[in-house]
Amino acid sequence: MAGIQDDGLDNDTLQHLRSRATQLLFKEDWREYVAVCSRIIDAASSGDDRRLLCSTLAHRADARARLGDAAGGLADCDAALAAEPAHPGALLSKGALLRGLGRYAAAADCFRAAALASGGGAAADEARELAEQCRRLEAQAKSGVVDLSEWVLAGFAGKFPDLAEYVGSVEVRRSPHGGRGLFAVKNVEAGATLIIAKAVAIGRGVIPDAADSDEKMFVWKDFVGKVLEAAEKCPKTAALIYTLSTGEEHQDEPVVPDMVIFRNETEGDSLSDGTSAARAMGTQEAAHVDRILKVLDVNCLTEDAPAADVLGNNGVVNCGVGLWVLPSFINHSCHPNARRTHIGDHAIVHASRDIKAGEEITFPYFDVLVPVSKRREASRAWGFECKCDRCRFEAEDSILRQEILKSEKDLASGGDIGAVVVRLEEKMRKSVVRERQKAFLRASFWSAYSALYDSDKLMRKWGRRVPSEALVAETVADVVSGNESVLKAMLRGSRDGNGCGNRLEVEDKVVRIGRATYGKLVKRHAMRDLFRLTLDATNKINI
């Protein structure tokens, strides 16, 4: 009978299903949308309507991608492409799915084929642009080279720049710091990218009063919900979360995961959603709420990390908490050699000083420009005792220990900051401490040094008896590598031409600290803009 499909769907019913699908699309009700698409697909295949079949398969693939079902989405695209090998919609959907899985080369091929199949016009241009984007991401995923110059120079205009995940020359190994840690497997230059990791999930909020715990709880609950959902949707994500510490395992026998699971799957992998990786690890467990909550307690990081204020997260978000898997293997040190920067959902970890092959990579979990007792409190809150060389020196040096305690007490009781700094400097001079140890103490009392340099009145009183701001900043930079507050002091101090060498030497030192602070994310000309922002923004940064 005319108007009736083989499976019994008449044209009216089919039309009704198509309008229903459009409504669900606008409502972003992806589950229901997939169900309606499935009915249309059944009708189209039995009615031999190839055009409808292919376009609906492509639409269902997009919806499945949104639900985190990449494997299902790819299967839909392949079914559409089996029926019509140059179907532009299916090629675009497949390209987007492959790009989401980090298979940039294959995604670029799909977009290029879609451009050809579109036969010109705006659609072809758009597909070509997507192919070009994937080509850039492919190069970045291989090299870790990121250039944010244009974005920085444009004042962070528009959306965050595209970033591909990247795993540099690093490896998870047993660490003398505790459990596992991340180690360099090759020499790495200061500023070079070590990891670019996309968050499993991030909870963000604008909290007027940073101490508002109800609001913070709301952000936290939202974040936990997103992590659980991500783990449920994708076996690979669950498997990756399960590699992380719950804080309860035997520190003597840490399980060291194979690095292969942190790299994007290769083009030949048949199970594109990561199921293969999950199986390889023998992890078949469903997302286990209890365990994941423990993992989050030990591993989540806040976005208010150093550099977040300057690099574009400022203004809108003032509370962000997230889980980035591979960076979670990095242990803390108060004398770190790496730093992280947050750009959108990505955390970029870079070497903040030269790192030798075999050296453990560490970054600060909290503000390390404070005295040892404050750092102890912070590390205990994380559940460990920091035993880095700086902490050991400050806690154990028999000559300077008393001076450190006295300085801390004087500062806490609101004593003359200038007097504390002058006494500390004199004590260090008399005790003939090594340059490295001098730098440790200056870093620990950085707030006193910077308050002194900030105050004209105090500088008039004590200025002649303290080393120049730029010189102190330079030594402190050697301890904490990069830091906006130290960079700001270096910029300000070097303008006065204060004990930093000639103009070129000064410029080199500023750029070196800039690279340590932000990594090699921008070219030299764009770095000036970052420096200007550093000078503007440091008031907002908690030091």
Ligand X SMILES: C[S@@+](CC[C@H](N)C(=O)[O-])C[C@H]1O[C@@H](n2cnc3c(N)ncnc32)[C@H](O)[C@@H]1O
Identify which of residues 346 and 390 has a Cβ nearer to ligand X in the complex: 390
Q: How far from each other are the two terminal CA atoms of the chain, in whole angstroms?
A: 78
Q: At what angle do helices 435-444 and 389-396 cross, to 10 degrees?
A: 90
Shortest Cβ 83–ligand X spacing (Å):
48
DSSP string, 23-88: HHHHHT-HHHHHHHHHHHHHHHHHTT-HHHHHHHHHHHHHHHHHTT-HHHHHHHHHHHHHH-TT-H
Identify which of residues 247 and 344 has a Cβ nearer to ligand X in the complex: 247
Identify which of residues 254 and 463 has a Cβ nearer to ligand X in the complex: 254
Q: In the numeric block, which tokens belong to residue 48? A: 């031999």
Q: Which amino acid is at 91?
A: L
Phi, psi of 60 (to 5 degrees): -65, -35
Shortest Cβ 296–ligand X spacing (Å):
11
Which residue, judged by CB position, is nearest to ligand X in the bound state?
179
Phi, psi of 412 (to 5 degrees): -65, -35
Identify which of residues 328 and 481 has a Cβ nearer to ligand X in the complex: 328
Q: CB-hemisphere CA count at 13 Å for 23?
A: 8
Q: How far apart are CA 320 and CA 299, in angstroms?
A: 14
Identify which of residues 298 and 317 has a Cβ nearer to ligand X in the complex: 298
Identify which of residues 335 and 488 has a Cβ nearer to ligand X in the complex: 335
Shortest Cβ 468–ligand X spacing (Å):
33
Q: In the numeric block, which tokens belong to residue 523? A: 């070219």
Shortest Cβ 377–ligand X spacing (Å):
14
Q: Are the C-beta atoms of residues 76 and 98 closer than 8 Å to each other?
A: no
Identify which of residues 115 and 361 has a Cβ nearer to ligand X in the complex: 361
Q: How many residues does the chain have?
A: 543
Q: How far apart are CA 441 and CA 473, in angstroms?
A: 12
- 3 state SS for 134-201: HHHHHHHHHHCCCCCHHHHHCCCCCCCCCCCCEECCEEEEECCCCCEEEEECCCECCCCEEEEEECCE
Shortest Cβ 207–ligand X spacing (Å):
24
Shortest Cβ 388–ligand X spacing (Å):
6
Place of tokens 């199921």: 275
Q: Which amino acid is at 303?
A: E
Residues that bind ligand X (CB under 6 A): 175, 177-181, 244-245, 247, 254, 298-299, 328-329, 331-333, 382-384, 386
The neighbour count for residue 499, using CB atoms within 10 Å, is 15
Identify which of residues 313 and 333 has a Cβ nearer to ligand X in the complex: 333
Shortest Cβ 301–ligand X spacing (Å):
8
Identify which of residues 331 and 481 has a Cβ nearer to ligand X in the complex: 331
Q: List Cα–Cα distances, 529 to 148, 154, 279, 433, 539, in angstroms.
A: 12, 10, 47, 38, 17
Shortest Cβ 391–ligand X spacing (Å):
9
Identify which of residues 130 and 480 has a Cβ nearer to ligand X in the complex: 480
Identify which of residues 124 and 298 has a Cβ nearer to ligand X in the complex: 298
Closest CA to 225 of 208, 203, 207, 241: 203
Identify which of residues 298 and 451 has a Cβ nearer to ligand X in the complex: 298
CA-based angle 171:286:345, to the nearest 5? 50
Shortest Cβ 375–ligand X spacing (Å):
10
Annotate 92-119 with b (16+ C-beta within 10 A) or e (fewer): bbbbbbbbebbbbebbbbbbbbbbebbe
Q: How far apart are CA 345 and CA 348, in angstroms?
A: 10
Identify which of residues 101 and 330 has a Cβ nearer to ligand X in the complex: 330
Shortest Cβ 293–ligand X spacing (Å):
15
Phi, psi of 290 (to 5 degrees): -60, -45
Q: Which amino acid is at 364?
A: P
Shortest Cβ 218–ligand X spacing (Å):
24
Shortest Cβ 177–ligand X spacing (Å):
4
Shortest Cβ 323–ligand X spacing (Å):
10
Q: How far apart are CA 531 and CA 487, in angstroms?
A: 8
